[in-house]
Structures are given as structure tokens and as C-alpha cells.
């Protein structure tokens, strides 16, 4: 069941998956369809891309090297969280390897450099994480799909959760890049209280002493922050070291408290409330199957980045099945993709008019279960929630 992995340079990898066997559909015979996976595999955010990559590989492995009955080969490259490098990789894979179907980008600033080249070349981009507001609105595209979320949504859900928690004065922070700006705009959109301070940090920041002093001086009811990957680990550790945990609670979006973040910060996370569209304790068959397979294959609990990538692979498979096993006819692929004919691990899933998800959002709390800190789903926050930018999209 395990697919062999071949290295392409120091930071790139591909996986050559099994060819079709007897009894598969006719379109599954022949060379594997190559799918470009440009993702972040190094630096503080490297584990986010690794989780996405591993889940994509797992989805194909679980189907004997196929997605939607089509043999596939993932060509994986590390963008190192550098937009210019991501753009160079995309151009090379399009030009030299004639790849037309892409996924994998984690950070919105990298997606802004990669997606236009893919789409301008009549390729297809299916996002497993980044969902910047500009591509959801006026810059939407017929060949661009998002399986994860529109960036604002997870922060809108955090704003709704802050209302439920009866927080009236909240200090908000995020890195100063597209997803960070979308984050604070999203939180503000649904939060009904007062934002005491709105602070933008650096995307490469590791020392938050100045921000901790500002939080202490503002004395808010709660702090909301969006810091994915290593940024979140550093922020929460320093929050605890500054003695703020016992006095000012945090309300977070899921990326600020992933399973990796939880393992890294330990007791500092206990009692934290967050919002998410999926959690590893979801009690539906597709989610249970995914979590069990991921844990068996990789010996760790999947993060939301893995879950979203797994759903992305399922969605691509459904589109390939409906489009005759190819992306050559992009309109046929689009028609099949928009049916969302797959069983999502998150449960309810459908596309909005801008080809971004409409989905439910949930309150999750970090609690001790059997002596171990874990994410526990508590209640639904938002049902069939769409993004605020779809009305600007004209496809």
C-alpha cells in the first residue's frame, strides 16, 4: 500500500504511484497523471506543507495509487515560503514537465505568485489551504477552486465564538501578509464587541515581547491571534512566559492551535477556545477512516492541513472521474469538480458561486482526556457559512 518516494534535489520530492490494473476504467490505463504540489517544507512553517504532502500521498496510496480511478504521480517541490521561488517552480513545471493541475500552497503570499501563472497557462489550481480574499472576489477564475476555506471564514468563526464567550473587548494580532490581513478583517466582520488594538506582526517574527507589553497595558477581555506554524508556537510560549495565561484568555482560529502547536506548548494551551471546520474527533465514517489511516501510516494525529489536503485529493479524484480522467478539457473538469461528488471528512461541503467552500464551523476546546491534552469539539458555531466576497465574483 505504501508508495515509493523519489527525491528531486535536496528539498523536492515526487511519488511514482502504481499504474492501473485489470478491471479499472479505460481512462485509467496509461501513464500516471502528474500533479504539481508546490508547498512549504522548510522553515518554521515546514510541518504545515509536510502534513499536506503526506495526506495527498496517503489518499492516493489508499486507492492503490489512483485518484478517481486515475493513476497519479505527485511532483512535490518546496517553495521555502518564498513567493519568487514558488513562481519559478510553477513556471518550470508548466514549461518543462507540461503539468496542468496544481495544489499544495500553504501561504497566501506564495499562492499570489503561483496561481496566476497556472491559470494564465489554462491550467487548474485546487487549493488545499490558502484562500486569499482577492481570488474569492474580483479576481476569481473558472479554473481556480478552494477546498479548505476562504481565509476570512475561519476568523469570522472565531469572531462568532468570541461573541458566544461574551468577550466584549478583544486585542487582535496577525502577521502582515494577505492571510493575516484577511484574518483581522474576518474577525472584525462578525465580532460584536470592541477591538482594543489591531496589531500586525512580521511573518518571520520570533520575539513578541513588545506585543506582550501592549496586551498587558490594554487589559482586554481576551486576545485573538492568527499565527500559523512556528509563529504560533513562539507566540503562545511567550504569552505563558509573560504571565498572561491566568489573566487574559485567548480565542483562536484553528491554525493558531494545531495538534503540532499543542504538543509544542503543552500546558500553556489548556482551556484555550478555538474555532474549526474539522477536528480529529469528528464522528463520521470518512473522517474516522482518514484519521485511522493517517495515524497508522505516519504515527501522528493529522492536523487540519492534512485533513484539507486529503479532502483536496478526494475532490480532485471526483473531478477526474467525471471528466474522463484528464484535465485537458478544463470545462469538463470544472463541471465535475463543482458537483463536489466526494465524501468530505468534515461532513457538509459544497461550493459557493466563487468556487470556495460553504461549510459548518465548530467550537473546539483544549481539554484533558485520559490525562492528555487534546482538541474536543463542543458545538456548532456557524452552519452552511459562505464567504463575504462571493458577490464580487463574475465567472
Cα 95 to Cα 88, 121, 124, 173, distances in angstroms: 10, 10, 15, 40
Task: Specify the pTM.
Answer: 0.89
Please tell me whether residues 141 and 267 are part of one structural domain: no
**Nearest Cα residue to 280 out of 253, 252, 254:** 254
Q: How confident is the model at residue 229 (pLDDT cuts 50, 70, 90)?
A: confident
Is the four-CA dihedral 248, 249, 251, 257 of positive or negative sign?
positive
pLDDT at position 24 is 38
Q: Is position 169 within any domain?
A: yes
Please tell me whether residues 220 and 289 are part of one structural domain: no
Write down the H helix ranges in 137-208: 151-164, 178-190
Write down the H helix ranges in the chain: 46-61, 83-97, 108-120, 133-136, 151-164, 178-190, 209-218, 230-241, 259-265, 285-298, 304-322, 330-338
**Nearest Cα residue to 85 out of 55, 114, 106:** 114
**Tens digits of residue pLDDT in 83-122:** 999 999 999 999 999 999 999 999 999 999 999 999 999 9
Element of type H or E holding 34: strand 33-39
Q: How many residues does the chain have?
A: 395
Q: Is position 60 within any domain?
A: yes
Please tell me whether residues 199 and 255 are part of one structural domain: yes
Please tell me whether residues 329 and 248 are part of one structural domain: no
Mean pLDDT over residues 381-386, rounded?
97
Please tell me whether residues 110 and 143 are part of one structural domain: yes
pLDDT at position 246 is 84
Lowest mean pLDDT among 27-41, 249-263, 302-316, 347-361: 27-41
CA pair distance 316, 322, nearest whole angstrom = 10
pLDDT at position 322 is 97
* 239 burial via Cβ count (<10 Å: 0-12, 13-18, 19+): buried
Please tell me whether residues 258 and 383 are part of one structural domain: yes
Q: Is position 352 within any domain?
A: no
Please tell me whether residues 188 and 330 are part of one structural domain: no
Q: How confident is the model at residue 219 (pLDDT cuts 50, 70, 90)?
A: very high
Q: How confident is the model at residue 15 (pLDDT cuts 50, 70, 90)?
A: very low
Taking 60 as the threshold, does the pLDDT of residue 82 lie above it?
Answer: yes
Taking 70 as the threshold, does the pLDDT of residue 319 lie above it?
Answer: yes
Please tell me whether residues 133 and 92 are part of one structural domain: yes
pLDDT at position 4 is 31
Q: Is position 325 within any domain?
A: yes
CA pair distance 282, 307, nearest whole angstrom = 12
pLDDT at position 363 is 98
Please tell me whether residues 257 and 122 are part of one structural domain: no
The percentage of residues in the chain with a pLDDT greater than 70, rounded to a whole number, is 92
Taking 90 as the threshold, does the pLDDT of residue 238 lie above it?
Answer: yes
Please tell me whether residues 183 and 262 are part of one structural domain: yes
What is the number of structural domains in the chain? Answer: 2
Residue 316 in contact with residue 35, Cβ under 8 Å? yes
Residue 145 in contact with residue 128, Cβ under 8 Å? no
Q: Is position 354 within any domain?
A: no
Taking 60 as the threshold, does the pLDDT of residue 65 lie above it?
Answer: yes
Q: How confident is the model at residue 325 (pLDDT cuts 50, 70, 90)?
A: very high
Taking 60 as the threshold, does the pLDDT of residue 271 lie above it?
Answer: yes
CATH code of the domain in which 71 resides: 3.40.50.2300
Cell numbers standing for residue 230:
512556528
Range of the domain at 166: 152-276+360-392
Taking 60 as the threshold, does the pLDDT of residue 41 lie above it?
Answer: yes
Taking 80 as the threshold, does the pLDDT of residue 290 lie above it?
Answer: yes
Taking 90 as the threshold, does the pLDDT of residue 266 lie above it?
Answer: yes
Q: Is position 366 within any domain?
A: yes
Please tell me whether residues 309 and 254 are part of one structural domain: no
Q: How confident is the model at residue 234 (pLDDT cuts 50, 70, 90)?
A: very high
Q: Is position 355 within any domain?
A: no
pLDDT at position 29 is 54
pLDDT at position 9 is 33
pLDDT at position 45 is 86
Please tell me whether residues 377 and 228 are part of one structural domain: yes
Amino acid at each position: 500500500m505504501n508508495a515509493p518516494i523519489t527525491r528531486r534535489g535536496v528539498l523536492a520530492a515526487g511519488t511514482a504511484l502504481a499504474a492501473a490494473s485489470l478491471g479499472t476504467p479505460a481512462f485509467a490505463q496509461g501513464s500516471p497523471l502528474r500533479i504539481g504540489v508546490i508547498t512549504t517544507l522548510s522553515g518554521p512553517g515546514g510541518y504545515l506543507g509536510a502534513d499536506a504532502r503526506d495526506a495527498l500521498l496517503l489518499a492516493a496510496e489508499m486507492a492503490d495509487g489512483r485518484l478517481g480511478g486515475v493513476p497519479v504521480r505527485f511532483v512535490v517541490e518546496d517553495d521555502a515560503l518564498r513567493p519568487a521561488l514558488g513562481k519559478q517552480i510553477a513556471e518550470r513545471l508548466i514549461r518543462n514537465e507540461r503539468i496542468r493541475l496544481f495544489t499544495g500552497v500553504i501561504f497566501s503570499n506564495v499562492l499570489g505568485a503561483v496561481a496566476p501563472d497556472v491559470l494564465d497557462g489554462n491550467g487548474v489550481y485546487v487549493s488545499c489551504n490558502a484562500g486569499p480574499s482577492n481570488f474569492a472576489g474580483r479576481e476569481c477564475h473558472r479554473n481556480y477552486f478552494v477546498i479548505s476555506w476562504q481565509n476570512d471564514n475561519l476568523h469570522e468563526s472565531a469572531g462568532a465564538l468570541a461573541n458566544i464567550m461574551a468577550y466584549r473587548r478583544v486585542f487582535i494580532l496577525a502577521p502582515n501578509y494577505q492571510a493575516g490581513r484577511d484574518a483581522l478583517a474576518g474577525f472584525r466582520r462578525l465580532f460584536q464587541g470592541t477591538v482594543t488594538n489591531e496589531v500586525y506582526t512580521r511573518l518571520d517574527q520570533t520575539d513578541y515581547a513588545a506585543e506582550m507589553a501592549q496586551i498587558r497595558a490594554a487589559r482586554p477581555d481576551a486576545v485573538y491571534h492568527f499565527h500559523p506554524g512556528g509563529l504560533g508556537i513562539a507566540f503562545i510560549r511567550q504569552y505563558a512566559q509573560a504571565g498572561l495565561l491566568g489573566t487574559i484568555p485567548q480565542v483562536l482560529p484553528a491554525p493558531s492551535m494545531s495538534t503540532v502547536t499543542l504538543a509544542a506548548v503543552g500546558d500553556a494551551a489548556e482551556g484555550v477556545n478555538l474555532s474549526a471546520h474539522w477536528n480529529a474527533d469528528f464522528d463520521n465514517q470518512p473522517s474516522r477512516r482518514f484519521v485511522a489511516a493517517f495515524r497508522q501510516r505516519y504515527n501522528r494525529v493529522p492536523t487540519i492541513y492534512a485533513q484539507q489536503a486529503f479532502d483536496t485529493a478526494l475532490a480532485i479524484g471526483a473531478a477526474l472521474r467525471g471528466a474522463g480522467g484528464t484535465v485537458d478539457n478544463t470545462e469538463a473538469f470544472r463541471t465535475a469538480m463543482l458537483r463536489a461528488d466526494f465524501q468530505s471528512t468534515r461532513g457538509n461541503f459544497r461550493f459557493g458561486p466563487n468556487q470556495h467552500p460553504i461549510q459548518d464551523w465548530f467550537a473546539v476546546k483544549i481539554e484533558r482526556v485520559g490525562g492528555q491534552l487534546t482538541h474536543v469539539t463542543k458545538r456548532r458555531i456557524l452552519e452552511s457559512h459562505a464567504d463575504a466576497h462571493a458577490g464580487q465574483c463574475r465567472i
